[in-house]
Chains A and B, each alone.
Chain A
Amino acid sequence: MAKDFLPIGSIPDFLDALATFGEVHGPLLTDDGVQVFGRIASPADLRLDYRRTLLPPKKYLLPPRETVLTYAPDSGYRPPPLPDRDIILLALHPCDLAGIAYLDMAFTSTEPDPWYRARRRRLTLIGLSCEPDEFCFCAEVGAATPGNFDLFLERTPAGFHIRTGSRRGEKILARLARLLGESEPALSSPQRCNIESAILVAVRRGETFPYSPLWDEFASRCLSCGACSLCCPTCYCFDVREYGLLDGESAERIREWDNCLFMAHGETAGGFNFRKNRRERFLYRYRHKYLGFGPTRGTLSCVGCGRCREVCPVRIDLLELFKEER
């Protein structure tokens, strides 16, 4: 029988072993009670029973703000050094792994973005099976089967079955051998519904629900706070800005998260706005999320993590659109 079982009591040793490969990050609870991904300084910090973090793991690949060029009069525009920190990101649920798989496609499939690629190469992903709650719907968007991991931990009452998904994962697992025990009998895999979900049916058809009264209803309640996009594991719109520094000569060009729910997102020079009302901005978000733009056309990027449904202060739920499908 394969030795692939990590007893729950071995987690501290497991973290020590992982730390030899890079800085270990995972789900933890902050002092102000927010579930986040952050640096795991001691085993007591790690919350393997977490439901979902407020912000998704995209922040490890696309920081909320980063400098992409610097300018000085004598040297012109120059790129700053690429990030070089090895990070082991622990306990990602299948939805968040799927979110990173989508970002990988958007940022590395054609002409790789150097910043994304540098961070991604140094990021090890360790997945963890999860228990869905009332906000989750990963099965309905086809993101329930774990993928895009280096290691994956399947939880059992006594510990975790570990499996590998990459060469890097195998290398790490080899270093963990002394912690692993004989496998318990395999768990029966959860029953999956064979019927294609209403979301997948609608998306395959390229549905935009042009006559749905829900768009106006959503628009009438939306606060344009942008929380749904901020907390989305696959929202990656960014703005590019340049700031002059205090010497009056040099400058920094940064890119930072932008948000399609914000008024300025559709503005052009001169103040004309292509998405000045909330209904238009909702449609834009829907199209991007469910139907895709440009090179991601035809790719559903919602991973069913449930964050947007949980955080919306006025309880707007795009899934209501699909109810007519059922």
Chain B
Amino acid sequence: MSTNHDMTAIPLPATVIELRKLSDDTTLFRLRLDDAIAARRLKVIPGQFVQLSVPAGGEVPISLAALPGEDGALELCVRRVGHVTALLHTLAPGAGVAIRGPYGNGFPVTDWRGKNVLLLAGGLGIAPLRSLLHFLLRHRSDFGEITLMYGAREPAAILFKEELSELSGRRDMHLFLTVDFVSEEPPGGLVCHTGLLPGLLSGVNFTTENTVAALCGPPALYRCVVEELQGFGFPADSIFLSLERRMKCGVGLCCHCAIGELFCCTDGPVFRYADLRGVEGAL
């Protein structure tokens, strides 16, 4: 895959091989690069993103929701929310798209060896954390306790339900789910709390010692969860946030995604809270 930091570089052609509808507005797209050699060379750090081209629609930055599969397939979890993603959602298997990247720093997983990892996802924020979780489980013995806390608006909005139900049966990690509102429909056999993520956090026992926290969610989530984590004694340099901005080029040129003096696309999208504290407009 192109590591060329040139936004005009030709995106690599890819084909949609499978769609999995995850909720009303969110679908997991499995793509395969048409060039098998490029697919094999693909190196992904969990938390990185790609620029996805939908012909005649344009380009959008999308986090990789998984590490590349055995078959070299890439998984992108995309909500139908704008012009390009709406067009993407009309595609069927076999349709052609294109990809640049992967871009950004990703989570510093090599620095986390030997540590406990607490993953906190809100809504679509589960997408980049899913690739992180896959990495942690693939290298399970390198890490301490692994805990995933995931909050969604309502049971129907919980993404990856089957996978979560599999994860809930694993003995080598903890899984906690919560929904803001409970509708009539039960969340498909999953044990699920009601309330917001910070509430879930305060109701669960976990150690803060030798633990890092990885967060991704809608903008409103960060401030209250960070506050909660700090209340538990998490130091600011053990809290890692994956942020969203309008990344047009992905290579630090178009100047849409600055956070303080840092670029979300090249300095991020994963930041330590210690580097964001006091930066106006960061969270």
Contacts and interface: CB of A to CB of B under 8 A. Distances in A.
A287 B81 contact: no
Which range contains the number of B residues in contact with the other chain?
A: 35 or more
Contacts of B85: 269
B187 to A, nearest CB: 24
Given A242-B59, A274-B281, A266 B246 contact: yes
Contact of A268 (B6, B11, B246): B246
A79 B9 CA distance: 8
Contact of A76 (B5, B98, B219, B253): B98
B195 interface: no
Interface string B241-267: 000111011011111101011110011
Contacts of B81: 269-270
B254 A69 contact: no
Contacts of B108: none
B169 interface: no
Nearest to B250: A240
Contacts of B245: 268, 274
A157 interface: no
Given A272-B219, A275-B281, A240 B55 contact: no
A295 B6 contact: no
A55 to B, nearest CB: 19
B82 A239 contact: no
What DSSP secondary structure best describes chain A's contact surface? mixed
Contacts of A237: 254-256
A60 interface: no
Interface in B30-88: 53, 55-60, 79, 81-82, 85
Contacts, number: 131
A160 interface: no
B183 interface: no
Contacts of A267: 246
B201 interface: no
B280 A283 contact: yes
B248 A240 contact: yes
Given A210-B280, A291-B261, A265 B256 contact: yes
Contacts of B56: 71, 242-244, 249-251
A295 B252 contact: yes
Interface string A265-287: 11111101011000010011001
A287 B252 contact: no
B90 interface: no
B227 to A, nearest CB: 20
A44 B223 CA distance: 63
Contact of A297 (B248, B261, B281): B261
Nearest to B251: A111
A111 B258 contact: no
A267 B219 CA distance: 12
B10 A79 contact: yes
B210 interface: no
B248 A77 contact: no
Contacts of B263: 293-294
Name the residue in B56, B244, B245 with the highest tally of chain A Cβ atoms < 10 Å from its Cβ.
Answer: B56
Interface of B: 4-8, 10-11, 13, 53, 55-60, 79, 81-82, 85, 96, 98, 218-219, 244-246, 248-249, 251-256, 258, 260-263, 266-267, 280-281
26 contacts: A73-B55, A77-B10, A77-B11, A77-B53, A106-B253, A107-B253, A112-B6, A113-B8, A114-B6, A238-B254, A239-B248, A239-B254, A240-B248, A240-B249, A241-B58, A242-B58, A250-B56, A251-B55, A251-B56, A269-B246, A270-B79, A270-B81, A293-B261, A294-B252, A294-B263, A297-B261
